[in-house]
Amino acid sequence: MTTIYDVAQRAGVSPATVSRALSGAKGVSEATRQKVLAAAKELHYSPNYIARSLKKRQTNTIALIISDITNPFFTTLARGVEDKASEHGFNTIFCNTDEDPKVEAAYVELMLRRQVDGLLISSCSDGESLRLLARKDVPVVLVDRRITHSRWDYVIGDSEYGAYALTRHLIEVHGKRRIAIISGPLVLSTSRERIEGYKRALREAGVVLSPEYIRVGAYKEEFGYQAMRELLAGSFSVEAVFAGNNVIAVGVIRAARELGVRVPEDLALVTFDDFDLLSALFPFLTAAKQPAYTIGAIAVEMLLERIRGEKIRERREVVLRPEIIIRKSCGCP
State the nearest-atom distance from the C-beta of 159 to DNA, in Å. 40
Phi-psi map region of 279: left, alpha, beta (phi>0 left; psi -120 to 50 alpha) = alpha
Task: Find which of a copy of itself, DNA, none residue 82 binds, CB within 5 to 8 Å per kind.
Answer: a copy of itself
Which segment (11-19, 64-72, 88-96, 164-172) binds DNA by CB under 7 A?
A: 11-19
> Is the peptide bond prior to 264 cis by the omega test (within 30 degrees of 0)?
yes
- Pick 39 or 66: Cβ nearer DNA: 39
- Pick 29 or 86: Cβ nearer a copy of itself: 86
Task: Find which of a copy of itself, DNA, none residue 32 binds, CB within 5 to 8 Å per kind.
Answer: DNA
State the nearest-atom distance from the C-beta of 26 to a copy of itself, in Å. 23
Task: Find which of DNA, a copy of itself, none residue 92 binds, CB within 5 to 8 Å per kind.
Answer: a copy of itself
- Pick 113 or 149: Cβ nearer DNA: 113
- Pick 134 or 214: Cβ nearer a copy of itself: 134
What values do phi and psi take at 160, rounded to 5? Answer: -60, -50
Binding site for a copy of itself (CB under 8 A): 44, 46-51, 53-54, 59, 61, 68-70, 72, 75-76, 78-79, 82-83, 86, 91-96, 109-110, 112-115, 135, 246, 250, 253-254, 275-278, 280-282, 284
Binding flag, residue 10, DNA (CB under 7 A): no
Give the C-alpha distances (Å, rounded to integers) separating 270 from 217, 218, 221, 247, 252.
18, 17, 15, 13, 11
- Pick 80 or 185: Cβ nearer a copy of itself: 80
Contacts for 231 with CB less than 8 Å, ≥ 6 apart: 180, 182, 213, 215, 238, 241
Sign of the C-alpha dihedral, residues 24, 114, 188, 136? negative
d(CA 188, CA 184): 7
Task: Pick the binder of DNA from 10, 20, 145, 168 (CB under 7 A).
Answer: 20
Q: Could you count the other beta carbons within 10 Å of the beta carbon of residue 286?
A: 23
Binding flag, residue 15, DNA (CB under 7 A): yes
Task: Find which of a copy of itself, DNA, none residue 3 binds, CB within 5 to 8 Å per kind.
Answer: DNA
Show contacts with DNA in window 22-81 (CB under 7 A): 22-23, 25-29, 31-32, 45-48, 51-52, 54-57
Show contacts with DNA in window 257-316 (CB under 7 A): none
Count of positions on this chain that bind DNA (CB under 7 A): 31
Task: Find which of a copy of itself, DNA, none residue 291 binds, CB within 5 to 8 Å per kind.
Answer: none
Query: By three-state DSSP, how is residue 62 classified?
Result: strand
d(CA 155, CA 196): 19
Give the C-alpha distances (Å, rounded to integers) separating 19 from 47, 59, 161, 204, 210.
9, 17, 54, 67, 71
State the nearest-atom distance from the C-beta of 28 to DNA, in Å. 4
Which segment (3-11, 65-73, 126-134, 287-295) binds DNA by CB under 7 A?
A: 3-11
Can you spell out the DSSP letters for 85-151? Answer: HHHTT-EEEEEE-TT-HHHHHHHHHHHHHTT-SEEEE--SSSSGGGHHHHHS---EEEESS--TTS-
Q: CA angle 197-331-198, nearest 5°? A: 10
d(CA 188, CA 190): 5
Cβ contact 173:163 at 8 Å:
no
Which segment (17-25, 139-147, 261-269, 292-300) binds DNA by CB under 7 A?
A: 17-25
- Pick 13 or 268: Cβ nearer DNA: 13
Q: Tell me the one-letter amino acid at 124.
A: C
Residues lying near DNA in the complex (CB under 7 A) are found at: 1, 3-5, 12-17, 19-20, 22-23, 25-29, 31-32, 45-48, 51-52, 54-57
